[in-house]
């Protein structure tokens, strides 16, 4: 079993349209690097969300290791 990614994986993308940061509430400009959270259809500034993003990625990696050991 090599299922690594989920539909809700957060990802780092370039904003394709202006929106509002779900963390600080300030505007996100088109072309800015943002973290996108498909689960909640939320977007946040890179600087606002990078810590949460890293933690999410780290937990996915932990799960990978877990799967490699036990499957
Ligand atoms: Zn922000």
Comparing C-alpha atoms, which of 48, 22, 19, 47 is closest to residue 31? Answer: 19
Q: Is residue 66 included in any domain, yes or no?
A: yes
Q: Is residue 2 included in any domain, yes or no?
A: no
Instruction: Output 71 or 32, whichever has higher pLDDT.
Output: 32
- Mark the residues whose beta carbon lies below 5 A from ion ligand 1: 21, 23-24, 45, 48
Number of compact structural domains in the chain: 1
Cα torsion for 2, 35, 44, 63, to the nearest 10°? 30
Q: How many Å apart are CA 22 and CA 43, to the nearest integer?
A: 6
Range of the domain at 53: 11-70
Q: How far is the CA of 49 from the centre of ligand 1 (A)?
A: 7
Q: Which residues does 16 contact at the CB level (< 8 Å), separation at least 6? A: 30
Q: Is residue 52 included in any domain, yes or no?
A: yes
What's the pLDDT at 2?
A: 44
Q: How far is the CA of 68 from the centre of ligand 1 (A)?
A: 36
What's the pLDDT at 1?
A: 45
Q: Is residue 5 included in any domain, yes or no?
A: no
pLDDT digits over 12-69, tens only?
999 999 999 999 999 999 999 999 999 889 999 999 999 999 998 887 777 777 677 6
What's the pLDDT at 5?
A: 59
């Amino acid at each position: 079993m090599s299922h690594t990614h989920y539909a809700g994986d957060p990802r780092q993308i370039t904003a394709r349209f202006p929106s509002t940061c779900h963390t600080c509430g300030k505007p996100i400009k088109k072309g800015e690097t943002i973290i996108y959270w498909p689960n909640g259809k939320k977007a946040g500034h890179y600087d606002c969300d990078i810590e949460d993003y890293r933690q999410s990625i780290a937990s996915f990696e932990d799960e990978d290791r877990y799967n490699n050991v036990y499957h």
